[in-house]
Amino acid sequence: MRVYLPLQPPALQNETSDSHYRYREFLPSNELESYVACYWTLDANVSERNHLHRIIPDGCVDIIFDLNASSSTNAAFAVGLMTTYETINLTVNQSLFGIRFFSDTARRLIRYPVSELMSYHVFLEEIWGSEGKFIAEEVTSANNRSEMIERVETLLIRLLLQNESNSDQLLQSSMKYMYASQGTISVRMLSEKLGYSERKVRRTFQKELGISPKELLDILRFQYMLREMKKGVPSRLTDLALNYGFYDQPHFNRNFKRFYGLTPGQVFT
């Protein structure tokens, strides 16, 4: 059973209803659900007007394929963990296909610590060599989205069989507690449950993910709040704020805007 399903703005702000800007998500097969949060597509036609595309931190790592790229060499790249929101003004037509990986299990497929991807764009060939170019060609030459997903799943399952090494065990154990608490556990309590010092836990996260456990906890808490709000905003946001460890609603609003760039009222109207 999936305990964490991150959200991105197009799924929250009814932007998928725009025929010139369409974002969709697709769940992976059962074999890959521990590694892949979703596959996603973004198609934007800017012939009539530009589109503002908003991306928010979700605790995941993405491999993105530019289906309009002139060659497979620069068609695919990886993006590491984000710690703040970003807005992109789309001024040219876009057609993208993405694979969103859970950060704690991504190393099994990417073969490198997620911290190695902290540069904004790391081309797939730099990670996987000639195999990266082959995967880019397989995806960009597919006839439709269903065929893309089918090809990607075949390739990812093959990578799993080839690479038996897992992410750091301390990282994986830490993430189980983080998910279970919906991001509300403190780093001190986390280290006590794990039986390691806070320093050891922080060093593991920096080495494996490139961010601190506190940063990731804040992102997970934010994402869990988003999903609860998507189900239906409580009559009092103060109650939601208290449930997630905020001492008052202004504190909650500041945290929300830090990760989203908008206030809760601007998103959930």
What CATH number does the domain containing 193 carry?
A: 1.10.10.60
Considering the domain boundaries, does residue 145 fall inside one? yes
Q: Are residues 52 and 141 in the same domain?
A: yes
User: Is 92 in the same domain as 48?
Assistant: yes
Distance CA 223, CA 61 (A): 15
pLDDT band at 165 (very low <50, low <70, confident <90, very high): low
Q: Residue 1: which pLDDT band, with cuts at 50, 70 and 90?
A: low
- pLDDT value at residue 234: 55
> pTM value?
0.92
Under 8 Å between Cβ of 133 and 72: yes
Share of the chain above pLDDT 70, in %: 93
- Same domain membership, residue 125 and residue 220: no
Query: Once rounded to an integer, what is the mean pLDDT over residues 76-80?
Result: 92
76-79 vs 122-123, strand pairing mode: antiparallel
Encode pLDDT of 88-110 as tens digits: 888 888 899 999 999 999 998 88
**Residue 250 token pair:** 């202004």
Percent of the chain residues topping a pLDDT of 90: 58
Residues 129 and 237 both lie in one domain: no
Q: What is the pLDDT of residue 119?
A: 63
pLDDT at 118: 77
What is the Cα–Cα distance from 260 to 226, expressed in whole angstroms? 10
Query: Which residue shows structure tokens 């008052």?
Result: 248
Are 154 and 190 members of one domain?
Answer: no
